[in-house]
Amino acid sequence: MKTINIGLLGFGTVGGGTVQILQETLGEIERRLGASIAVKIIAVRDLNKPRAVSTGEIPLTDQPAEVVNHPEVDIVVELMGGTGLAKTLLEQAIENGKHIVTANKALIAEHGNELFAKAQAKGVHIFYEAAVAGGIPIIKALREGLAANQIEWVAGIINGTGNYILTEMKKPGADFASVLKVAQELGYAEADPTFDVEGIDAAHKLTILASIAFGIPLNFEKVYTEGISKITAEDIQFAEQMGYQIKHLGVASRTEAGFSLRVHPTLVKNEVLIANVNGVMNAVMAYGNHVGPTLYYGPGAGAGPTASAVVADIIDCVRASESQLPVPPLGYLTLSEEAEVVEIESVASAFYLRFFAKDHAGVLAKVSAILAEQGISIEKLHQEPCESKPEDATVVMLTDVVPESAMNAALAELANLSEVDGEIQRIRIGQFDAE
């Protein structure tokens, strides 16, 4: 039986999980693949650090270049993260004719166009299923399972930390700051949670999903990104009263003007399955013109789920190396280089608005008039007294679908009303049941 040698760059949570799966499941893998997989060398930061997973006779090195230059390594598995040293090492591995498996979403989103071109020129493959949604095989589903379809839109909960925070904020007395602290204590959020709560991590993943779905180059710098740090428990409660859940979604869709790529809090109707995905779980919806809506659900992080995707990629990489017609990394032999990514201002959406207004006669009439000037209709309206501001009322409304530019213009005028007190909360409403 042929043996394929792999070299690991990084031996943290996912690296340890990868070695453990290979140790425990090798017989099953050999039956599926018809070949054996052996770990030849592992690069680590600290040679003296205790390991949660036994490496047996596998040599360790603190010089990662030894992995990419090792003459017997067939596949380099990059699990170290970052976009600096990791990029340099993978470029060297490609130059050396080695295939790549990576879980590095930032590297793929920001430098994938360049890396894929280098790999194609050298005749090697790059696999990256573990970079998006952990154990959910969403890359394979979009790239291969839905290959008979034109994908109209993709929408996903693709960051477990943000989903956990929004889920926990439903509990009485919870707020963003307190839930974030608990998430950090549990290890769901980093000490600096910016990448998770401000949507950068999700934007990396959405960049990849959009490119596969639409056959366009990776466009991370064009993703509109908005976080969840301004979402309040009151917003979540009002949304629930109106039949919605607030989710932090990555959404990529086709529009008449081009492609829309955006990450932001979104009201999702309770009837839509993704509205009921809670805790640290991930889920991705994709709409194909023939199959209709599909949903992919599962754990988005952790040693087992992510390492499962890594090992599956290793298996696919071995198969691809033996094939004369391997699947292209983004699913298309040629990408739509002329594809236009539209600005958020031209994207149409319904909106949730919440603000404080003076509890006087005629105030809502002024608000309605300003919205009407921009062609915005109010679909639902809720008003109740404000305990913290006795002279004010809390006003919550849902609007019809309008361009973002019209809503921006209306909000600017509303903010100038003397009867409107403080900042106006604006959250977009997903239209997944109607698209």
Residue 228 DSSP code: S
- Cβ(13)–Cβ(310) under 8 Å? no
Q: How wide is the angle at C-alpha 126 spanned by C-alphas 122 and 132, nearest 5°?
A: 160
> What SS3 state is found at 252?
strand
Residue with tokens 């009485």: 172
Q: How far, in Å, CA of 429 to CA of 245, rounded?
A: 10
Report the b/e string of 376-411 with b at 16+ CB within 10 A. beeeeeeeeebeeeeebbbbbbbbeebbbebbebbb
- Cβ(96)–Cβ(26) under 8 Å? no
Distance, C-alpha 93 to centroid of its chain: 27
Which residues are 295's β-sheet partners?
285
Q: Which of 40, 205, 222, 380 is catalytic?
A: 205
Dihedral sign, Cα of residue 5, residue 11, residue 13, residue 14: negative
What lies within 8 Å, CB to CB, of 129 at 6+ separation is 137, 138, 139, 140, 309, 310, 312, 313, 316
- Is there a catalytic annotation at residue 205? yes
Distance, C-alpha 60 to centroid of its chain: 32
What lies within 8 Å, CB to CB, of 8 at 6+ separation is 15, 18, 19, 39, 41, 42, 43, 67, 77, 79
- Cβ(75)–Cβ(99) under 8 Å? yes
State the number of CA atoms in the 13 A half-sphere of 2 facing the CB: 8
Residue with tokens 């919870």: 174
Would you list the DSSP string of 134-179?
A: TTS-HHHIIIIITTTS-EEEEEEE--HHHHHHHHHTTSTT--HHHH
Q: Which residues are catalytic?
A: 205
